[in-house]
Amino acid sequence: MRRIVITGIGIITPLGVGRESVWAGLAGGRSGISHIDCFDTSNLKTTVAGLCRDFTPEQFFDEREMSRLDRVSQLALAATEMARREAKLSDDELNSYDFGVIMGTGFGGQNSVEEFVGAYYSNGKGRRSAIVIPKSMYNAASSNIAIRYKTRGPNITISTACSSGANAIGNAFHLIRYGHAERMIAGGAEAPVTPLVMDAWKDMRVLSTKNEPAERACKPFSANRDGFVLSEGAGVVVLETLESALERGAHIYAEILGYGSTSDAAHITFPDPEGEAQAINRALKDARIGPEEVDHINAHGTATKLNDASETEAIKRVFGSRAYEIPINSIKSMIGHSMGAAGAIEFIAAVLAIEKKLVPPTINYEEADPQCDLDYVTEGPRRMDRGRPIRTAISNSFGFGGNNAVLVAREYSEQ
Amino acid sequence: MTRQAVESIEDVVKNIIVAELRVDRERLAPSTHLMKDLGADSLDALNIALRLEEAFKIKIPDEAIPRFLTIENIVQGVNEHLASN
């Protein structure tokens, strides 16, 4: 069986741009949530979101390029550029039929859609455009990556709501493992903080309305949690065979060991702990490890009433009494829920936790909930370098539609 | 058509091209070709046609777009469309 490793990381979140600044924020327990100031929120109940304020597209693109790229593609391409630089991939290495791309997104080029919708309903006054379709189509991000870097292998977009990014990385991993590609760019990107999307979520009543202070809005696993906080961002990893990484002398962040994917096949939004538990089980089986080997869980942890209780139950079904001993965190408490990017960003956070031997905290935990009684690392960042050092972590992603995806990462070791 | 009007059409055309393609105005001579000289592609040409339609309140048929590729051809085409309206 081929071994697949992570050799490049590109990440953009409300906590910063790039692996180091994002990690500094996560490890420091900082919140990236702030008040929305890019459009009028006076009709909304939720006025906070996770905006990537440090992301300056001008650093990555000229004006002409920006006009052709929806924000979601800008985030995806910028994250890819960081990942490929870290992985030290040359243009020649990228330009290959053995190099592919899989990206996840839940909303695609939503900003471009909304601009066009505005023009459409403006009785001819709005600005029409011939490039709305190529900017807004869901596969724009992955296709723009392939076009820019000349990766000629598989180019696939996955849209499974909140688990898109995790399914993207999992499928990319399997494409390499089973010989369909040698190297993959994989991850997720999302730019959903728009007037229409915020308004539509409002009617679903799943967003937190704890607007003051913004930094404390998202309270995963806390009894007084009242919903998730929408955010934007991108996470991209470079995956390649161990052989290829060693041959190139690339830095290996961790090994990707397993991927499990299931469908609740139940309700379009109501989560089912059994579907989630089976996704974890299948990921562990794919990784050929037992539940006793898992040292850390990066939870989906959205801070909705339903998700956090259901996920806690799923973890108990898989890990039994050991569930209480595993440090579990939700970094959504700090960066919000970036939908199709979240699974990729959280997988990267789990990989960095393994590398740094430190589990970032779940912040904003205030009240115990009897339905959520596991160890959510609420006291602050936790060092895990002695006793039982963190070697193996899983990252859970559970999407609307009942789409569950779980990834397993392990510290790289030679045998 | 007065000299003044011709110049202003050319100005509007140039403004549209500068805005759509993000190029310096100095690069725009009468014979400048949108694709060969300015790196535009077919999508740019379509967007420029949209802007021309809005600016001059004209309708540019699909088959005319391939002729709208140099500054002088565009100005001439706009003039023809304005005259026929």
From the CA of B28, how many Å to the nearest CA of chain A?
17
Please compute, for residue A234, the number of CA atoms within 13 A of its CA located in the half-sphere on the CB side. 29
pLDDT of A85: 97
**In sequence order, what are the residues at sequence separation of 6 or more whose Cβ sits closer than 8 angstroms to the Cβ of residue A298?**
A328, A329, A330, A331, A346, A347, A349, A350, A353, A393, A394, A395, A396
From chain B, which residues contact A within 8 Å (Cβ)? 20-22, 43, 46-47, 49-50, 54
pLDDT of B5: 63
Give the span between the Cα atoms of A90 and A92, in whole angstroms: 5
Cβ within 8 Å, pair A64-B43: no
Residue A187: strand, helix, or coil: strand
Whether residue A368 contacts residue A225, with contact meaning beta carbons closer than 8 Å, is answered with no
Give the span between the Cα atoms of A374 and A320, in whole angstroms: 11
Give the span between the Cα atoms of A58 and A157, in whole angstroms: 25
- Of the candidates A399, A106, A107, the residue with the CA atom closest to the CA atom of residue A270: A399
For an interface test with B, give the residue of A66, A67, A123, A137 to mutate (most B CBs within 10 A): A67
Whether residue A408 contacts residue A415, with contact meaning beta carbons closer than 8 Å, is answered with no
Which value, in Å, is the radius of gyration of the alpha carbons in chain A? 20
| Pick from B22, B43, B54: CB nearest A131 | B43
Residue B35 tokens read as 């694709």
From the CA of A152, how many Å to the nearest CA of chain B?
22
pLDDT confidence of B7, banded at 50, 70, 90?
Answer: low
Which is higher by pLDDT, A1 or B6?
A1
- Whole-angstrom CA distances from B5 to A167, A286, B66, B79, B85 are 59, 72, 24, 10, 16
| Pick from B21, B22, B46: CB nearest A130 | B46
Query: DSSP assignment of A95-109, as one string?
Result: SBTTEEEEEE-SS-S
pLDDT of A305: 96
pLDDT in tens, B15-30: 999 999 999 999 999 9
**In sequence order, what are the residues at sequence separation of 6 or more whose Cβ sits closer than 8 angstroms to the Cβ of residue A129?**
A115, A116, A119, B47, B50
**In sequence order, what are the residues at sequence separation of 6 or more whose Cβ sits closer than 8 angstroms to the Cβ of residue A108?**
A70, A72, A136, A137, A138, A140, A141, A159
Please compute, for residue A55, the number of CA atoms within 13 A of its CA located in the half-sphere on the CB side. 29
Backbone angles phi, psi at A241, to 5 degrees: -65, 150
ipTM of the complex: 0.82
pLDDT of B6: 61
Question: Helices (DSSP H) in A180-319: which residue ranges?
Answer: 195-204, 242-248, 273-287, 305-319
The question of whether B24 is a catalytic residue gets the answer no
| Pick from A63, A67, A130: CB nearest B50 | A130
- Chain B residue numbers with beta carbons less than 8 Å from the beta carbon of A127 are 54
**In sequence order, what are the residues at sequence separation of 6 or more whose Cβ sits closer than 8 angstroms to the Cβ of residue A53?**
A14, A34
pLDDT mean over B60-73: 92
pLDDT confidence of B2, banded at 50, 70, 90?
Answer: low
Which is higher by pLDDT, A396 or B62?
A396
Residue A226 tokens read as 């009242």
Taking the Cβ of residue A285 and every Cβ of chain B, the question of whether any pair is shorter than 8 Å is answered with no
- Whole-angstrom CA distances from A37 to A30, A196, A287, B54 are 20, 15, 44, 31
Taking the Cβ of residue A64 and every Cβ of chain B, the question of whether any pair is shorter than 8 Å is answered with yes
Please report where in the chains the tokens 């909140």 appear, as a residue: A162
- Chain B residue numbers with beta carbons less than 8 Å from the beta carbon of A68 are 43
pLDDT in tens, A358-396: 999 999 999 999 999 999 999 999 999 988 899 999 999
Handedness of CA A283, A285, A286, A292 (dihedral sign): positive
pLDDT of A128: 85
pLDDT confidence of B84, banded at 50, 70, 90?
Answer: confident
Residues of chain A with confidence (pLDDT) below 50: none
For residue B3, pLDDT over 80 is answered with: no
Cβ within 8 Å, pair B22-A134: no
pTM for the structure as a whole: 0.95
